[in-house]
Amino acid sequence: MTREHPAGAAAAGAPAAGAPDAGRRRPATAVTVLLVVVAVLVGAAVARVDAWWPVLTATTTHGEAGEVVTAGPVRVRVDGVRTGSVLADGGEMLTTGGVWVGVDLALSGTVDDAVPAVLELRDARGRDYAASTRAGNLLASVPHAADVPEGGTVLFELPAEALAGDLVLRVLTEVHDADVDRPQAVAEIALGSARPPAADVVLEPAEDALVPGGWDG
Amino acid sequence: MTRGWWRTNRAWLVALVVALGLLGLVTWRAEAVQAWWTTQPHRAAAADADGWARVGDVSYRLVGLEEVGALDDGFGGTVEAPDGYALLAADLSARSQDRPPGSEAETSFSCAAELRDTAGRTYAAGASALDGVPFPEPLTCAGPVSARVTQYFLVPDGAVPAEVRVVDRTLLPAYWSLPVPATG
């Protein structure tokens, strides 16, 4: 690729100061230093790009109960929060060492059938509790058509002391397309505080059903 | 590196940068893009002048699409769309091409119909959000067929249908694209 150059042979040695090749080495050294600095800066930028460019991190949409909150492929609206010490789940009475928390909500897709990847409650201490798999929780696990909201109750089992502060419902989503770097869309809906249930209070989940009138109803 | 070295090798340096760029372009998320492309309906088999779209040896035609107030639940009753929603019935015709005797492909029912509206929203056939709705009629994707089937879709009020798609997961990215005629 390179041609032999008479000057190259001279530069390979150790020319004395003031020799003709000394002037040529200075620019070469400067270029090397410049390239090293650029490489270090690029490396540092790449390492920090997630923090500097938030679009590459999860995008979180915040909302409150009663609002339709859109997070990527899913829309959700919380209609209420109820608690119980016993859960009436399909004819079975489920007791708990903590409390049952039922979040009445509606879900739909945005452009296609969509199902939330995770539904969880975050307590005031930052602990996350996923929707219970002891309960049916069908609403949280079946696909919902675009703008065809279905309502029902998603059930969580929490330690009683988790109700000491405000709760936040977190809806985490997944996108299945070519953009593998697309950030995860998360909806965080402030629920406020939930009152601990009295003993033997039975929580009865609402039946899953289409929301009358749709999102505009 | 003397000025002469840069001058002598500048063409190779440009070639190196271009080659690295091409390499990055080819390998950058190639597997993910390839997987996405081949597992989603991306290659539309458009309808001909008579409305027939063909994938493999089966053609589909959209005979009609209309809103219906209710559909038969299969047990003598009906299921109605609640306020805020509309039930659409798509009437589809399917036919297979003439093939030499003995060369027919095995009959396959692995496809499903989708409705796409002008807003880009896609709805699966079956209106499964409604209680009591029977499973959608099976659609033939391969093999000898001469059939007329109706597929039901539940959409929000105001949705404007643009296209009915018939999608066979085993034939992706190809799919049958049946445009819905615009209504005045």
Domain identity same for B59 and B7: no
Cα–Cα dist B124/B165, whole Å: 10
pLDDT on residue B33? 72
Q: Which residues of chain A have pLDDT under 50?
A: 1-15, 17-18
Number of domains chain B is built from? 2
Residue A180's pLDDT is 55
Domain co-membership, B59 together with B138: yes
Residue B51 lies in a domain: yes
Q: What does each C-alpha distance from A114 to A2, A110, A133, A213, B24 come to in angstroms?
A: 59, 8, 20, 20, 33
Q: Report the pLDDT value the prediction gives residue B20, as an integer from 0 to 100.
A: 84
Determine the pLDDT at residue B178: 97
Residue of B nearest to A215 (CA): B84
Is residue B56 within 8 A of residue B171, CB to CB? The reply is yes
- In this structure, the answer to whether residues B31 and B112 fall within a common structural domain is no
Q: Which domain holds residue B21?
A: 3-38
Burial-class residue A4 by CB neighbours within 10 Å (0-12, 13-18, 19+). Answer: exposed
Which residues in chain A are closer than 8 Å to B3, comparing Cβ atoms? 24, 27
* Per-residue pLDDT tens over the stretch A3-60: 444 444 444 444 454 455 555 556 778 888 888 898 888 888 777 766 666 555 678 9
**Residues B32 and B65 grouped into a single domain:** no
Identify whether residues B67 and B27 lie together within a single domain: no
Tell me which DSSP letter residue B103 carries: -
Are B84 and A31 an interchain contact pair (Cβ–Cβ within 8 Å)? no
- Please tell me whether residues B8 and B80 are part of one structural domain: no
Using an 8 Å CB-CB cutoff, list chain A residues near B120: 111
Contact at CB, A212 and B82, closer than 8 angstroms: yes
A4–chain B Cβ distance below 8 A for any pair: no
The predicted complex's ipTM stands at 0.79
Among chain A residues, the shortest Cα distance to B5 is held by A2
Same domain, B128 and B87: yes
Closest CA to A124 of A180, A177, A60, A191: A191
pTM here is 0.76
Give the SS3 label for residue B25. Answer: helix
Q: Report, as ranges of residue numbers, the positions in chain B whose pLDDT lies below 50.
A: none
CB atoms within 10 A of CB A162: 22
- Copy the structure tokens of residue A40: 């270090």
Chain A residues within an 8 Å CB radius of B119: 111
Cβ separation A1–B9 shorter than 8 A: yes
Pairing of strands B111-117, B70-72: unpaired
Q: Are residues B22 and B51 in the same domain?
A: no
Q: In what order do the strands lie in the sheet with B58-68?
A: B52-55, B58-68, B85-96, B146-156
Task: Collect all residues of chain B within an 8 Å Cβ-Cβ radius of residue A5.
Answer: 2, 4-5, 8
Which three-class secondary structure state does DSSP give residue B117?
strand
Among B133, B84, B87, smallest CA distance to A147 is for B84
pLDDT confidence of residue A176: 60
Supply the pLDDT for residue B67: 94
Which CATH number is B128's domain given?
A: 2.60.40.10
Best of B29, B42, B121 to disrupt the A interface by mutation (most A CBs within 10 Å)?
Answer: B121
Query: Is the same domain home to B33 and B88?
Result: no
B71 and B160 in a single domain? The answer is: yes
Same domain, yes or no: B31 and B53:
no
Q: Could you tell me the sign of the dihedral formed by the alpha carbons of A165, A166, A169, A172, in that order?
A: negative
Is position B76 within any domain? yes
Q: Are residues B29 and B92 in the same domain?
A: no
Q: Is residue B184 part of a domain?
A: no
pLDDT at B35: 77
Inter-chain CB proximity B4 and A112 less than 8 Å? no
Provide the shortest C-alpha distance from residue A180 to chain B (in Å): 7
Cα–Cα dist B149/B128, whole Å: 18
Q: Check residue B61 and give its pLDDT.
A: 96
Q: Do B122 and A212 touch (CB under 8 A)?
A: no
Residues A58-212, CATH architecture: Sandwich (2.60)
